[in-house]
């Protein structure tokens, strides 16, 4: 085995077998921004064999304060292209598929079907609910993550457990909740949440226990507290009809 992965393999819960699983795995990351940057760096470096990146956006100067995949010279380039370039330079073993389009109802199922695990790194509620519903419908495990200002949250969905909709119900009205455009986001806070999402993906692929299923991890960076709230599958929810 490539010495590149020596420190992964030394981890008892991974070993040679777990590393093989990572190399054979396919993970779809929706959004190559503040959460997607750490997620993609850590999964690429860990040797996740195929990474899918979907992002329709181009790099803006205001992104660089937190979206560490992109550099000043990338301003104006497609985020998916900029991301692929950095990840391939980091680890030439892996394959990176990019989709320079929006994740919508019309392409969602086809994209998700192709991957073993999905990571929600997007920044809007419409897409978050869509990711949830598509993953629930296909029984696909995924990681939900969100970060804003000095706070963030993470939860992992696997079939038979509580989903994002069990907790949050339905999509908020436009403008009902603040966005990072209004109240900002500290890069290191997005980095913390993305790192946890990457760790959950690695745990899922290698078959480790202790996933954030039926638990919402809430991080408050202002007082440096992590809380895990127990959540239950809601009997009226889309996920319980699967």
**Which residues bind to Zn ion, rule: CB under 5 A?**
163, 165-166, 237, 239
> What kind and span of H or E run contains 117?
strand 117-120
Is the CB of 163 or the CB of 202 nearer to Zn ion? 163
Taking the complex as a whole, how short is the minimal distance between the CB of residue 135 and Zn ion, in angstroms?
A: 11
Residue 126 and residue 142: Cα distance in Å, rounded?
16
Is the CB of 210 or the CB of 236 nearer to Zn ion? 236
Taking the complex as a whole, how short is the minimal distance between the CB of residue 73 and Zn ion, in angstroms?
A: 43
Is the CB of 186 or the CB of 237 nearer to Zn ion? 237
DSSP 32-97: -STTHHHHHHHHHHHT-SEEEEE---B--GGGTTT-TT--GGGTTSBHHHHHHHHHHHH-TTSEEE
Is the CB of 66 or the CB of 165 nearer to Zn ion? 165
For the chain, how far is it from start to end, CA to CA, in angstroms? Answer: 40
Is the CB of 69 or the CB of 237 nearer to Zn ion? 237
Taking the complex as a whole, how short is the minimal distance between the CB of residue 80 and Zn ion, in angstroms?
A: 30
Is the CB of 134 or the CB of 166 nearer to Zn ion? 166
Of 97, 94, 55, which is closest to residue 78 (Cα–Cα)? 55
- Backbone φ and ψ for 105, nearest 5 degrees, come out as -55, -30
Taking the complex as a whole, how short is the minimal distance between the CB of residue 140 and Zn ion, in angstroms?
A: 14
Mark residue 81 as left, alpha or beta (left: phi above 0; alpha: psi -120 to 50; beta: remaining): alpha
Let me know: does 135 contact 157? Beta carbons within 8 Å: yes
Taking the complex as a whole, how short is the minimal distance between the CB of residue 162 and Zn ion, in angstroms?
A: 6
CA 63 centroid distance within chain: 17
Let me know: does 187 contact 65? Beta carbons within 8 Å: yes
Taking the complex as a whole, how short is the minimal distance between the CB of residue 240 and Zn ion, in angstroms?
A: 6
Is the CB of 96 or the CB of 135 nearer to Zn ion? 135
Taking the complex as a whole, how short is the minimal distance between the CB of residue 62 and Zn ion, in angstroms?
A: 34
């Amino acid at each position: 085995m490539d010495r590149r992965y020596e420190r992964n393999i030394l981890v008892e819960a991974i070993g040679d077998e777990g590393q093989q699983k990572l190399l054979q795995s396919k993970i779809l990351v929706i959004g190559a921004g503040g959460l997607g940057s750490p997620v993609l760096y850590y999964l690429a470096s860990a040797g996740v064999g195929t990474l899918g990146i979907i992002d329709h956006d181009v790099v803006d100067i205001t992104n660089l304060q937190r979206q560490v995949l992109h550099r000043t010279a990338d301003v104006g380039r497609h985020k998916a292209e900029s991301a692929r370039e950095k990840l391939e330079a980091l680890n030439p073993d892996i394959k990176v598929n990019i989709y320079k389009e929006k994740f919508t109802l019309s392409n969602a199922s086809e994209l998700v079907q192709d991957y073993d695990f999905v990571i929600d790194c997007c920044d809007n509620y419409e897409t978050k609910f869509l990711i949830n519903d598509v993953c629930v419908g296909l029984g696909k495990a995924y990681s939900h993550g969100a970060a804003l200002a000095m706070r963030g949250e993470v939860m992992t969905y696997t079939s038979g457990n509580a989903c994002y909709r069990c907790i949050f119900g339905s999509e908020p009205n436009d403008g009902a909740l603040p966005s990072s455009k209004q109240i900002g986001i500290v890069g290191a806070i997005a980095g913390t949440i993305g790192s946890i999402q990457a760790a959950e993906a690695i745990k899922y692929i290698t078959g480790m226990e202790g996933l954030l299923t039926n638990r919402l991890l809430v991080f408050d960076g202002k007082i440096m507290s992590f809380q895990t709230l127990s959540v239950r599958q809601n009997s009226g929810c889309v996920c319980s009809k699967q």
